[in-house]
Amino acid sequence: MNNVILKCVKIQKNFTSNGQNIQVLRGISIDVSQNEIVSIVGVSGVGKSTLLYILAGLDHPTDGDVLLEGKSLLGYNPKHLARIRNHDFGFVFQTFNLIPELDVLHNVMLPSLIAGVDSKDALERAKLVIERVHLEHRIHHDTTVLSGGEKQRVAMARALVNKPKIVFCDEPTGNLDEKISEDIFQLISELNRQDGTTFLVVTHDVNLAKKAHRIIRMVDGRIDQRDVLGQPSSIGRALHS
Ordered DSSP codes for the chain: --SEEEEEEEEEEEEEETTEEEEEEEEEEEEEETT-EEEEE--TTSSHHHHHHHHTTSS--SEEEEEETTEEGGGS-HHHHHHHHHHTEEEE-TT----TTSBHHHHHHHHHHHTT--HHHHHHHHHHHHHHTT-GGGTTSBGGGS-HHHHHHHHHHHHHTT--SEEEEESTTTTS-HHHHHHHHHHHHHHHHHH--EEEEE-S-HHHHTTSSEEEEEETTEE-HHHHTPPPPHHHHHHH-
Determine, following the binding rule CB under 5 A, whether residue 162 of this chain makes contact with Mg ion: no
17 binds, among Mg ion, ligand ATP, none (CB under 5 to 8 A by kind): ligand ATP
Binding mask 23-42 for ligand ATP (x = CB under 6 A): -x-----------------x
Determine, following the binding rule CB under 5 A, whether residue 49 of this chain makes contact with Mg ion: yes
One of 49, 143, 203, 233 touching ligand ATP (CB under 6 A): 49
46 binds, among Mg ion, ligand ATP, none (CB under 5 to 8 A by kind): ligand ATP
One of 2, 19, 20, 45 touching ligand ATP (CB under 6 A): 45
Number of residues that bind Mg ion (CB under 5 A): 1
Determine, following the binding rule CB under 5 A, whether residue 189 of this chain makes contact with Mg ion: no
Residues that bind ligand ATP (CB under 6 A): 15, 17, 22, 24, 42, 44-50
Residues that bind Mg ion (CB under 5 A): 49
